[in-house]
Amino acid sequence: MIKLYGYKKCSTCRKAEQFLQHAGVAYQFIDITENPPDAVELAAIARRANVSVNKLFNTSGLQYRELNIKERLPALSNQQKLDLLAANGRLIKRPLIADGDRATVGFDDEQFAAIWL
């Protein structure tokens, strides 16, 4: 089953959810702020989505700015970055959508159609 890690108050997450619903794609919604994926799953999502660990960060988020993540990233290993993300779901770019083979980070209509339909 597809997992959609999102936040109900996030408009981008709502768009992704509506896309999946209209396409008839079954999914499990997981609140990313309450139950963020662990470091192992985040690493797998980055690999399946073909993005770097840095692309998993919500660079426009309040937590990202408040915690000065941009300045801290260059000094962190990938494992440290994954651990930081796993400990604070508000730092993760959303929505994250994943199943056993595929994953997407963020929402883009064309990318979604190509991957999830």
Contacts of 17 (CB under 8 A, 6+ apart): 4, 6, 27, 29, 95
User: Angle at the Cα of 33 (from 73 to 6), degrees rounded to 5?
Assistant: 95
Predicted local distance difference test score (pLDDT) of residue 1: 86
d(C-alpha 75, C-alpha 80), whole Å: 9
- 27 phi and psi, to 5 degrees? -150, 165
Query: pLDDT tens digits for the chain (117 residues)?
Result: 899 999 999 999 999 999 999 999 999 999 999 999 999 999 999 999 999 999 999 999 999 999 999 999 999 999 999 999 999 999 999 999 999 899 999 998 898 888 888
pTM to 2 decimal places: 0.92
Q: What is the radius of gyration, based on Cα positions, of the chain?
A: 14
- 10 phi and psi, to 5 degrees? -85, 120
Domains of the chain: 2-116 (3.40.30.10)
From the CB of residue 36, how many other CB atoms can be counted at a distance below 10 Å?
Answer: 22
